[in-house]
Chain A
């Protein structure tokens, strides 16, 4: 393995390192701090609908006074009502099941693409990316037309005589799974394809020469070597799926409980920015902690190998 060449600690080097950090600072840390600050505020009938608002023009004294008005009351409120925990858990479960289903469908696709003739691969890759050229929202709306009681799917199944009564799929969790799997499939296929394509074919040839049946060779060689792609793909599906709002709102039923929808209700129906900010901060914690743990794990593995 090639060691990455460390960037020289020169002015140019520092600038290079600074770019991503400044990016994170402006587009991640600053918005997060604003949300965190709102989560400690109180609801009010005003523009914006919370107090205190920090007005830098009023000087340090006012700033310190305002700091004293912040409280963790909103976080306590979250623990008092089981709706929020149920939403978090239900989101994680829905996202987990969807990720698993996406993997079941995505792995054969990526595998097939990686094993197809070299000349065909760019076309197949193109076909995976193609749906992105249509708006995500319109594609989700199209599923309403397919899944509804008088929709295309039911008409087809009725016409060929598979069912006698239309299936109720729209406005149920099944529709949410279909929506998530469909929408996020490319995010899983692409990294997986990348790692499967790089796979050294001579390893499989060697296994065959030594009398290993193909399925065992797949299990012992292909699968472990594609694991980084599997993990990267699953994270790319799981993380946005947990916070998904559009799909459960359009395809799910009223009893589909997901944190994205709960947050929306809190924000729009209650006009309660402080509590919805608190919900968002906790959602971030729930997502960040496993990612950090995962990264540490990966680093340890990399160090052991080195």
Chain B
């Protein structure tokens, strides 16, 4: 082969690959585990021709560490509000180009207003799902251990050592998320769940230490399967995850009944927000994806699958009755008054929180 024909060949090849790149439009999404109906991704690709590369995580901490290292290569990430606020401050995200998001008109202004606490002006993010952190339990096993009138609608079930002692043998899992567990403990103690005072954090830590001996594991995703299989009888977890466990158990028909309850003392209300990193390689495709997600039928499909409430007003009428009609997912107005939100910890307090959490978990 002569040099000239070789060069022509190389040139032709590079042209070809250039064309291929133009065709292979893709969007890389990094979302929570068990958090989407995968057919939504397939439909999106069919409609737009944009390939979706989909990865999952199970803790805000892991997501934030990746984002702060920079260059993640992801186009869309889904942090919780408290974490989002700090990440915006660190300059992680690009402002949304709202001209590319006509479906923003479908969003629910009530939810948008609540999210302003984390994302002022809703400049960087859209709401994907919101929910609560409460009690997931195995009905038969908890009743067997504590009798018919077990306090399943109260934090007493979890924070009273005499109850936990009886539940220990059937297995208790707790979210490995200090930002969710400290506010719950503070609320139970009658203190401000959003307190940043180290003395309060210590009190919450002491309370958690009293029930620590009865906890089998601190983990933020294993409890879905563990509850569904009947391996554990109590989990402090996220609403939709527990409801997914409920459905898996019902499908398996294995004699396990899982229920979720929002404790009457109050529970944490959180918002998972979709945002675009400042260094996202496919910003246009990311906007297209967000706009697609905000379509009422798509959002309804997502909620019907994951059993979480969403922040899309127009999708509400398309939701299945077992979603929109379930007070565990869409709490009554009365119950919403009992829900609280929290803000992120400043770095110095964060260190105390994490250290206290480590000492709760390890007994050290």
Contacts and interface: CB of A to CB of B under 8 A. Distances in A.
Given A83-B359, A272-B351, A47 B216 contact: no
A11 B229 CA distance: 68
Contact of A268 (B61, B362, B364): B61
Interface centre among B70, B355, B357, B358 (most CB of A within 10 A): B358
A45 B351 contact: no
B68 A49 contact: yes
Given A171-B217, A254-B215, A47 B354 contact: no
A253 interface: yes
A121 interface: no
Nearest to B70: A47
B68 A148 contact: no
A126 B216 CA distance: 39
B121 interface: no
Nearest to B219: A254
Contact of A83 (B178, B350, B358): B358
Nearest to A168: B216
B364 A257 contact: yes
Contact of B178 (A86, A262, A269): A269
Contacts, number: 70
Contacts of B229: 150
Nearest to B344: A45
Interface in A91-124: none
Given A265-B358, A272-B351, A46 B364 contact: no
A16 B223 CA distance: 55
Contacts of B69: 47-48
A43 B216 CA distance: 33
A113 B355 CA distance: 49
A104 B122 CA distance: 62
Nearest to B178: A269
B6 interface: no
B351 A270 contact: yes
Contacts of B86: 45
Nearest to A144: B222
Nearest to B346: A45
A269 B362 contact: no
A49 B355 contact: no
A269 B217 contact: no
Contact of A47 (B59, B90, B347, B364): B90
B20 to A, nearest CB: 31
Given A47-B90, A47-B91, A171-B216, A268 B355 contact: no
Chain B interface mostly helix, strand, loop or mixed? helix
A37 B263 CA distance: 48
A235 interface: no
A268 B65 contact: yes
B361 interface: yes
Contacts of B215: 254
Interface string A265-305: 10111111000000000000000000000000000000000
Interface in B50-76: 59, 61-62, 64-65, 67-70
A149 interface: yes
A81 B124 CA distance: 38
Nearest to A266: B354
A268 B62 contact: yes
B305 interface: no
Interface string A47-87: 11100000000000000000000000000000001110010
Contacts of B364: 82-83, 86, 255, 257
Contact of A46 (B91, B178, B359, B361): B91
Given A81-B355, A254-B361, 19 more contacts: A45-B89, A45-B90, A47-B68, A48-B70, A83-B355, A148-B231, A149-B171, A150-B229, A150-B231, A254-B217, A255-B361, A255-B362, A257-B364, A265-B354, A267-B65, A268-B59, A268-B65, A270-B350, A272-B351
Interface of A: 43, 45-49, 81-83, 86, 148-150, 171, 253-257, 262, 265, 267-272
20 contacts: A45-B86, A47-B67, A48-B68, A48-B69, A48-B70, A49-B90, A83-B355, A83-B358, A83-B364, A253-B216, A255-B361, A255-B363, A256-B362, A262-B358, A268-B62, A268-B65, A269-B354, A270-B351, A271-B64, A271-B65
